[in-house]
Amino acid sequence: MTDLEEQEDELLALSSIYDNILKVTKEGHLNGGELLASPVLPDDFKLKILKPKKESNCETLDTELHSIRYLPPVLMNFILPSEYPSLKPPEFTLSSKWLNRVQLTKLCRKLDSLWEENSGSVILFVWNTFLQDELFDFLELSNPLELAEIITGTNKTDLDLDVRGIQEISSQNELLPVILDYNKQEKMNQFERSSYACKVCFSEKAGTYCTVFYDCNHVYCNDCMSDYFTIQIKDGNVRGLECPDDKCESQAHPSQVKKLVSSDLFSKYDQLLFQTSLDTMSDVTFCPRPNCQSPVLMEREANLATCCVCNFPFCTLCRLVYHGLSPCRLKADGLVKLREEYLNADPRTKLLLEKRYGKVTIQQALEESFTNEWLKQHSKQCPSCGAHIQKIDGCNKMTCMKCRCYFCWICNSSLSRGNPYMHYNTSGSPCFNKLFEGVEVDEWEDDDDDDWYDNLLD
């Protein structure tokens, strides 16, 4: 078999094995290409980053660890001489984003020695297998891998640097985001190529049709998640887009939500998410004017905020027009709420409420609230003038001491001035025979009282 035939067979075999990492090209009349070798990482592999941190007058190093499953591949560009594999090895270069030139030189020399051991045979598969499976052990890399040492390396060595080893990035600040982005993208690629059972409907689907929650790695099919996200957003519960697992609190990423809901629904989600984010910011409030409602940055002192849209100055406590150092004014419908909040508050909260509204104002509010509650429970209002009237004893025909109106205690309706008792002895009346309903009546002292009541009903 000729060298050219062996080359063609080798490239065909490699193409079937490394379909997505081998690119075959032609350099004039010579065969060539590029091959991506992705090193197999140790279990629980981490990158170690040391960052300067100032404490008092000295500078220390702060350690930062990143869990990594995939590192950017080592790229081998090669050309196959016409005498390969019988007499000459492939011509190649190795380039890497995360290996330094000293390490790349060692790899180039190792590939040369592998050729010498297998001289006369095709070698590309052997080279790629070594770069994938043995690179870490050969270079004696540690776990966690300190990025600064990898980037810097050392040029003070007896080993001459090989021009075939190309270091693509020499800055730690530039390299870290490249590695993190590649790791994230490759994890997603591997996810899409695999199959998963949805934890909601239990159907088996390819990762392309599934959603994974990044913090917990729980997987659900897109159909189930689309329905779930849609219901939550329509209910205004944008903070509720959590992993459906009842023991998990992982949040869906906005990009995942956008992929699974309509554009109108995502716009609502985006707006609500922005709104809830503003609500959690302690130094942001909203203009109280109903036709404005713009977000406003609060002043650090004096409880003052001024809307930059409508220029309305308001108190951040009571949300009324700014009143300077005077206590906040209470709205009528807030008395009961303030009373409950004050009575159930701890000492620190009570002091804050007293500072906000004034101690005298709170005391007055409490007294008024108690008075209104008592009146509501123990009195009724005159249907004519609205005066509060308490019933102590006697029958259910009441007389208002303010306007002298007669009214029924049971149904609160006005009674006739000429014959107020007709309301109780008219058949069909809602209070028929109820003049003394609810009244504790002792034994009558004599029969005359009975005659009086019978005459009254007649």
Instruction: Return the active site residues.
Output: 395
Instruction: Identify the H or E element spanning 348.
Output: helix 347-357
The two structure tokens encoding residue 24 = 């075959």
CB atoms within 10 A of CB 395: 16
441 Cβ partners below 8 Å, 6+ apart?
Answer: none
Q: Quick check: 246 and 256 in contact, CB under 8 A?
A: no
How many residues in the chain? Answer: 458
The two structure tokens encoding residue 406 = 């007669």
DSSP string, 270-332: HHHHHHHHHHT-TTEEE---TTT--EEEPPSSTTEEE-TTT--EEETTT-SB--TTSPPPPPG
Q: What angle do CA 200, 205, 207 make, to 5 degrees?
A: 100
Please say whether the dihedral angle defined by the alpha carbons of residues 198, 203, 206 and 208, taken in this order, is positive or negative: negative
Q: Where are the beta strands (DSSP E) in 42-144?
A: 46-55, 58-67, 74-80, 91-96
The two structure tokens encoding residue 258 = 């956008």
Query: What span, in angstroms and rounded, lies between the C-alpha atoms of 195 and 203?
Result: 10
Instruction: Identify the H or E element spanning 210.
Output: strand 210-212
The two structure tokens encoding residue 396 = 């259910």
Q: Quick check: 68 and 176 in contact, CB under 8 A?
A: no
Query: What span, in angstroms and rounded, lies between the C-alpha atoms of 106 and 389?
Result: 102
